Structure 1
Amino acid sequence: MWLSLIEKSEAIRAIYRDSIPPLENVTLHEIKITVGEDTIITIKIDITTLPGELPKKWQANEINTVQLTFDLIKARIEKFDLNSPVSMVTRICILEDSGSKRMTLTSSSNAEVLVIRSSWIYLQSISAYRNAYKAGSEYN
């Protein structure tokens, strides 16, 4: 499972417990590259799979979207297809490969849109918000 390859992932397990969400039908929110001695690529995604029991703060805000931010440390981009639609990602696959982590973002046409290899993947943050666009579409 992808969560076992993520460092500092306790917050996801605490919120989702035994129902860890799949990284499918996600929205790619942001890609940020920080250069330096160790290149860091930050990936921010939105998922709509909510935990079975919402934290009280999330209940009060009537959230419908969870946002996960990952930092890929000592990262390098192996593939970045700017000709493919990059915002809607059908699947994110995280695997261990030859001692490193490999994150692959795949489009609805099953094309690899972005492939990143890194030494580590850290959960930087987990948050939630009410996506007005999604909320509006629930009633259409």
Structure 2
Amino acid sequence: MWFKLASNPEVVESIYGDEIPILEGVLLHEMEFRLDGGSIILLRFGPSNYPSKPPAKWVSRGNNTASISLQLIDVSSTTLEGRGIVPQTFCDFSFKREDESLIFEIKADNIQAKVKFGYLYIDGITAYRGKVE
């Protein structure tokens, strides 16, 4: 369970319960490199699955799509290859522990990235009304 690598996994557990936000076929909304106060990468993405028991306020608002925000803190190395992110880029994410560091990878048709960092922090999970198919 990737979110167990975070310093605050309870954020995911409080919304998803025993479910796991799926990291295959996620919609990458944002990837921001921050240099103020350290090396941090902010990620915002839509996981492939919506919680089966969402919070009542999400239901009352008609929300049907989740968005997760993460901070990759104390970044020590990054690689980024490809043609770049285009609107509606669907990616596969992965997290793993390697020695004393954490590794985050993005794989998609048009981009590949790898980040080595020290700490994972879950900024939050929000919801909105996405397209209904």
> Do both share a fold (TM > 0.5)?
yes
Determine helix, strand or coil for the equivalent of 1:52.
coil
Partner of 2:50: 50
Q: In structure 2, what is the Cα distance between the partners aligned to 1:61 and 1:77?
A: 41
Partner of 2:69: 69
Partner of 1:123: 122
Offset from partner CA, 1:17-67 (integer Å, 9 cap, x none) = 111122111111011111145201101101241111111110011112111
RMSD of aligned Cα (Å):
1.9
Partner of 1:95: 96
Letter in 2 for 1:127: T
Alignment map for 1:1-140 (pairs within 5 Å)? 1-83=1-83, 85=85, 87-107=88-108, 109=109, 113-131=112-130, 134-135=131-132, 138=133
Q: Give unmatched runs, 5+ long, in structure 1.
A: none
Determine helix, strand or coil for the equivalent of 1:62.
coil
TM-score relative to the length of structure 1: 0.84
Determine helix, strand or coil for the equivalent of 2:90.
strand
- Runs of 4 or more above 2 Å deviation: 84-90
Q: In structure 2, what is the Cα distance between the partners aligned to 1:46 and 1:102?
A: 20
Q: Per-residue deviation at 1:85?
A: 4.9
Q: In structure 2, what is the Cα distance between the partners aligned to 1:129 and 1:65?
A: 5
Identity of aligned residues (%): 26
Question: Does the 8 Å contact 1:48/1:64 carry over to 2?
Answer: no
